């Protein structure tokens, strides 16, 4: 097995009242340590050092109805609390959602995650929502 990490981020700016959807896609190529072993990957498991992080939030930011979901299977989703401050999410529910991403990447080679949110305020200074995946892949 190999322990490998990848990180992807959504960059958010918004006008008050906007409802926005963005996507990011993880692939086996995002896990640099797998470079020579991609075609042998059989499974993957998320590690507890993985997390979802929100950064760049200033006083005028209020994002509500924030949801991450799997593009292929939207019933696999995770709802974040309203975003009004910088925060790191690393609980069991977050890890379970991140594990779904790893399972899809290891079985299909790619996984697309959708972020949906509504902004109650206008802001131009970007807010960054990052998914940090620390995983163990087996062959």
Q: What are the pLDDT digits (tens) for 13-36?
A: 999 999 999 999 999 999 999 999
Longest Cα–Cα distance in the chain? 48
Q: What is the Cα–Cα distance from 124 to 42, expressed in whole angstroms?
A: 43
pLDDT for residue 37: 95
pLDDT at 59: 84
Asked if 39 contacts 9 with a C-beta cutoff of 8 angstroms, the reply is no
Q: Give the integer Cα–Cα distance in Å for 78 and 98.
A: 9
Reported as a single tens digit per residue, the pLDDT across 116-130 is 999 999 999 999 999
Q: pLDDT tens across 24-69, in order?
A: 999 999 999 999 999 999 999 999 999 999 999 998 899 999 999 9
Report how far residue 74's alpha carbon sits from residue 78's, in angstroms, rounded to the nearest whole number.
10
What would the two tokens of residue 38 be? 């991609």
pTM summary value: 0.96
């Amino acid at each position: 097995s190999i322990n490998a990490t990848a990180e992807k981020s959504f960059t958010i700016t918004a006008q008050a009242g906007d409802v926005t959807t963005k996507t990011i896609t993880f692939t086996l190529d995002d896990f640099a340590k797998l470079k020579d072993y991609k075609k042998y990957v059989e499974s993957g498991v998320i590690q507890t050092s993985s997390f979802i992080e929100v950064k760049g939030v200033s006083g005028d930011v209020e994002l509500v109805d924030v949801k991450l979901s799997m593009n292929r299977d939207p019933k696999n989703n995770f709802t974040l609390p309203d975003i009004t401050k910088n925060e790191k999410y690393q609980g069991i529910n977050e890890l379970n959602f991140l594990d779904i991403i790893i399972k899809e990447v290891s079985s299909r080679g790619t996984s697309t995650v959708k972020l949906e949110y509504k902004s109650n305020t206008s802001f131009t200074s970007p807010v960054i929502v990052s998914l940090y995946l620390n995983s163990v892949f087996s062959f």
